Amino acid sequence: MVSKINPNPFTTRPEIEGTFGVVTSTHWIATAVGMATLEKGGNAFDAAVATAFTLQVVEPHLNGPGGDVPVIVHDVRKGKIEVICGQGPAPAAATIAHYRGLGLDLVPGTGLLAACVPGMFETWMLLLRDYGTMHLADVLAPAISYARNGHPLVERASATIGMVEHLFREHWPTSAAIYLPGGEVPKPGAMFSNRTLADTYARILREAESAGGDRIKQIEHARKMWSHGFVAEAIDKFCRTQDVMDTSGEAHRGVLTADDMARWQPTIEAPATLEYGRYTVCKGGFWSQGPVMLQQLALLRGFGLDGVDPASAEFIHTVVECAKLAYADRETFYGDPKFVEVPGETLLSEAYNAERRKLVGEMASLEQRPGTIKGFGKQLPLRVPAGARTVAAGAGEPTVGKIWTHDDVHDPSVIVIEDAKLDSAGAMRGDTVHFDIIDQAGNMVSSTPSGGWLQSSPTIPELGFCLGSRAQQFWLDEGHPASLAPGKRPRTTLTPTMALRDGEPYLAWGSPGGDQQDQWTAQFFLRHVHAKMNLQEAIDAPAWHSEHFPASFWPREARPGVLVVEGRLSADTIKELRRRGHKVEVEADWSEGRLTAASRVGNRRRAAANPRGMQGYAAGR
């Protein structure tokens, strides 16, 4: 590799720096709420809960109370990094036989059949109870206020409502009642409120405060109202009584029950880790896609990336080819370790990746090439789109709103997905939010809440929110590690990250974007480490993503060889990538990723946020 780093990288904003604390998130209001919580004496975990509840309100097209969340924390009292798994499992009645009996070959991407146990509320209560210091009212009040009094609707939320307007009018009237105020799609910048959601959280708060002044008792009472009380009862009734249109083109009832909710609680575990030079990178376990970033780094350790221009064809080609190998292993081996044995130690080992690294050549691979580990894994037929269609036909976290095309396929191991089946229910992809917070004491939190998007399933009228659709990440194929089973966690794409440097907690970062999350977070880290870019520079730099491997969301397609890049890459770089065999699609100059990041060194706190989409902001002092 010979391309050298640009000595003057472009940046849109300053890297925020101070000694008191920093908050960075995908929405400026949530960042302000998190910072205000620190100013009021809360710690990073209090601020995280306040930020998270606010994000549910101001970015309802990207996350909601019915969704799920992983959290990575560093608590200075414990002196270690921990992962909180807020990924709810499949309901007890969610069996492959039940879904196959309905004539389905995939879990639908929207509707009630796609719902797992909602994991967010219980997770935020655990974080507040065991790591935080504030009362429930302190962290819920901003979200209740914005839900009741309104907030300026961001452009993408308005556009999302517009995309599903027909679905709401024809099939999901309870959603239309909230998201089509006055019978119209709300315009960007309009003050938008969800008073039913405000009432739900206000009722939980009133019930919690009736338990007395003790902080812990109030939190426990709030949990009871959610998982054992009126919230669980309303969800149970809705799933039992409503036939809901979904991406299959047919209406189905759900299988989630109040008993499923009552039986589940979030868990705390050690992170999966990888040593990368001075850094120890920490992710969620193999129930998530998090280790796929670690395996990319394990592969990349064998290439000399120091001093190489991260916008060069050599750099991008090498990173993309390593990503293809890691994601192929994700598809073949990952699943809930409570149900299947995942060969995680082997997948992240130097010996295994030294052999895999030999597959990276001069030209782009157009094949899916998982490794072979005897006794583990299962490879499924590839699903590819036929003809051309818009990305909005899917039901998971999006890339960008482009037209998809694919060459004709004549391989019997490949399933061609026809357009008519995809668009029958007018589905629209959802996305995700992210935030990173570090307080004065050095506590750190990184989280990627998602699911329960306004377009996931119909709004439950008594509650003001809908259920999530994470079950679409299961396969309905017996014997696959990520196949559907009652009580099993789907292999979530949600994947916050932390890293130690020289043994000290240093960096927290992440991005929305489904399968792209661990591509964009890896790129950010590589730019920061090898190109010596600061946090903002590493976020602002031109980015890309591969669509080579199967997507995690309905209809689970792959686009072999496709590499989507921002138009800011040089013409020479794009030409060279195409010469190497990549099917390069050039998108808008600022279209890839919604990263945020925060770091601590001694008493100094730094933060940065993505300028793409004009929503994310960092704050600190």
CB 589 within 8 A of CB 567: yes
Shortest CA distance to 328 belongs to which of 279, 259, 379, 288? 379
Shortest CA distance to 226 belongs to which of 71, 113, 118? 118
Identify the burial level of 610 via C-beta atoms within 10 angstroms of its C-beta, where 0-12 means exposed, 13-18 middle and 19 or more buried.
Answer: buried
Residue 562 dihedral angles phi and psi, to the nearest 5°: -75, 130
Predicted local confidence at residue 140, as pLDDT: 98
Predicted local confidence at residue 415, as pLDDT: 52
Predicted local confidence at residue 268, as pLDDT: 98
- What is the rounded (10 degree) CA torsion for 104, 109, 115, 116? 90
**Does the pLDDT at position 542 exceed 80?**
yes
CB 318 within 8 A of CB 582: no
Q: Are strands 244-245 and 251-252 parallel, antiparallel or unpaired?
A: antiparallel
**d(C-alpha 240, C-alpha 590), whole Å:** 44
Q: Which residues pair with 395 in a beta bridge?
A: none
- What is the rounded (10 degree) CA torsion for 116, 118, 237, 427? -60
**Whole-number CA gyration radius for the chain:** 23
Predicted local confidence at residue 10, as pLDDT: 76
Computed over every residue of the chain, the mean pLDDT equals: 92
Predicted local confidence at residue 396, as pLDDT: 47
CB 335 within 8 A of CB 287: yes
Instruction: Grade residue 296 by pLDDT with cuts at 50, 70 and 90.
Output: very high
| H or E stretch covering 544 | strand 544-546
**d(C-alpha 23, C-alpha 82), whole Å:** 20
pTM of the predicted structure, to 2 decimals: 0.94
Q: Please state, as a whole number, how many other Cβ atoms lie within 10 Å of the Cβ of residue 398.
A: 22
CB 313 within 8 A of CB 576: yes
**Does the pLDDT at position 435 exceed 60?**
yes
CB 138 within 8 A of CB 206: no
Residue range 227-281, pLDDT digits in tens:
999 999 999 999 999 999 999 999 999 999 999 999 999 999 999 999 999 999 9
Residue range 98-134, pLDDT digits in tens:
999 999 999 999 999 999 999 999 999 999 999 999 9
Amino acid, res. 559: R
Residue range 175-226, pLDDT digits in tens:
999 999 999 999 999 999 999 999 999 999 999 999 998 999 999 999 999 9
Instruction: Grade residue 388 by pLDDT with cuts at 50, 70 and 90.
Output: very low
Alpha helices, DSSP H, located in 400-497? 419-422
Predicted local confidence at residue 397, as pLDDT: 53
Residue reference for tokens 């019930």: 207
